[in-house]
Amino acid sequence: MDSVRTCVGCRARAPRATLTRVVAVGLQVVVDERGSMPGRGAWVHDTSECVDAAIRRRAFGRALRVSGSLDTQTLQNHFQRNG
């Protein structure tokens, strides 16, 4: 059975395989393609709607436990390209 995670954008619970893991590298939020980058991760659906909702709600900062303003431009570009 696949583990269940919560999307930080829509707050829906979903199997880990259907979500994308993101991590903070410094103050930049990046996609963890292989799911093996060190540090705390946050999970989000692979849709621009969920990413936009998480950015609007400032959910990445809380989920990743990072104080300060996070740069989400790389993350937004990734989802616009792939979504």
pTM of the model: 0.90
Residue 79 pLDDT exceeds 90: no
Confidence category of residue 77, pLDDT binned at 50, 70, 90: confident
Number of domains in the chain: 1
> Domain containing 32: what range?
4-82
CA 75 – CA 83 distance, rounded (Å): 12
Chain centroid to CA 5: 11
Query: pLDDT tens digit string along 18-76?
Result: 999 999 999 999 999 998 999 999 999 999 899 999 999 999 999 999 988 899 998 88
Name the residue type at position 29.
V
Helices (H) and strands (E) in the chain, counts: 3, 5
* 3-class SS of residue 33: coil
For residue 59, what is the domain's CATH number? 3.30.1230.10
Nearest 10 degrees: Cα torsion 79, 80, 82, 83: 90
